[in-house]
Amino acid sequence: MTTNLVDRYVFTALRRVPEQQRSDIDRELRASIEDAVEARLEAGESREAAIERTLLELGDPDRLADSYAGRPNYLIGPELYPVWRRLTLMLLTTVLPIVVIVVAVVQILSGDVTVGDVIGSAIGTIINVGAQMVFWSTLGIWIIERTGAGKDDLNRPWTPKDLPKYERGAPSRIQLAANLVWPATLVLLLVLQQFAFTEVPLLDPANWSFWWPVLIVLVVLKGLLAYWVYRAGTWTRPIAVVNAVHGLAVAAVLLYLLGSDNFFNPAFTGFNDVPVDLTGWISVATMICVALSIAYDIGDVTRKTVQAGKGLPAKIPGSGNTYA
C-alpha cells in the first residue's frame, strides 16, 4: 500500500522539521494544499492535475521544511544547500566505507601487520578521508554557487516525481548498500584471516576443503536476498520463507562446527602472546550468539512481512498522522 502524492509531500517536509513543530505544520501545510487544490477544482481542473500544480508551486519539500524550521544556510545558500547535503551524505555513507575497506586490504597485503594496526588505520582513514570529503564537497558547491558554472545542471527544477515512495518496509539504496557491504566484508575477513592478522589462522584451515566454501556461498546468498528485497520494494512471504531457510542453514553449519570443535583452529593459541582457550566458554558463547542472532533475524523478517501483508501504517512521531 503506497501513500498518495499529498501524504508523500507532507511526510518529506515533516521529516526535516523538529518533532515539536510537526503537528502544527502538518495541519497548516495540509490546509494550505487543500485550499489551493479546491480553488483549482472550481476553475475546472481535474483533482490529479490540481494536486500536481499545487505541489509544483510549493516546490522542493526539503527547502520548504528549512523555511518552516528557520534554518540559516550561510556558507551554502538555500538554492544549492539540498544538493550539497545529498552529495555529502552519499560520500560519507557509500564512498567512505569502500575506501576504508580498500585501505585495510592494501595494508594487510603489504606486509606483517597486527589487528591493532589495521583497526588504527581504519579509524585514521575514517577521520582523515571523511574530513576531506566534507571539505571538498563544500568547497566545490561554494565555487559553483559563487561562479554560476554548472549551477543549472545541479539545481534542476523539482517536480513531484522526485518524491520518494513511502512503502511499508521498502529499503532505501543506502540500506541496500549497507546490506551488500557486510556480506562482502565477512567473506573478505574469512579469506584474509587465513593469511594475515596472526601467524596461525584463527579458524580451522581444514574447513577450506568444504565448510568454508559452503559458508561463503551462504553469505553471498544473504547479499542476493537483500537485493531481492530491494527490487521487490517490500517484504513478502516468499522472501520470509527463503530468509528463514537461509538462516537455519547458516545456523546448522556454524553450530555444527562450533559444537564439534571444528570451527576454531586447534593450533591457534592466542593474540600477541596472550593465551586464549577457544574450546571452552568462548565456543559456548559464540554458539549462543549465533543462535540468538539468527532467531532474531528470522523473527524480525517475519514481523515485517506480516505488517507489510496487513498494510499496517507507520506513525510519524509528532505529526498525529500515519502513513502507509
pLDDT at 48 over 70: yes
Q: Find the mean pLDDT for residues 221-247.
A: 87
- Whole-model pTM: value is 0.50
Between 293 and 166, name the one with better pLDDT: 293
* Average pLDDT of the chain to the nearest whole number: 79
Buried b (16+ CB within 10 A) or exposed e, 225-242: bbeebbebebbbeebbeb
What pLDDT is stored for residue 320 in this prediction?
Answer: 53
Q: Residue type for 301, please?
A: V
> pLDDT higher for 261 or 320?
261
Mean pLDDT of the region 234-261: 87
Q: How far apart are CA 237 and CA 215, in angstroms?
A: 25
Q: Is the pLDDT of residue 1 over 70?
A: no
Task: Please state the rounded mean pLDDT for residues 169-188.
Answer: 76
234 half-sphere exposure, CB direction, 13 A CA radius: 17
Lowest mean pLDDT among 179-183, 197-201, 225-229: 197-201
pLDDT at 18 over 70: yes
Q: Provide φ and ψ at 295, rounded to 5°.
A: -65, -40
- Distance between CA atoms of residues 287 and 300, nearest Å: 20
User: For the residues 48-63, what does the mean pLDDT come to?
Assistant: 88
Q: Is the pLDDT of residue 120 over 80?
A: no
Q: What is the pLDDT of residue 324?
A: 47
d(CA 223, CA 217): 10
**Residue 220 pLDDT > 50, yes or no?**
yes
Q: How far is CA 183 from CA 190, 221, 231, 291, in A?
A: 11, 9, 18, 18
Asked whether residue 310 carries a pLDDT value surpassing 60, the answer given is yes
What is the rounded CA–CA span in Å between residue 262 and residue 264? 6
User: How many Cβ atoms from other residues are within 10 Å of residue 17's Cβ?
Assistant: 21
What is the percent of the chain where pLDDT is above 90?
9
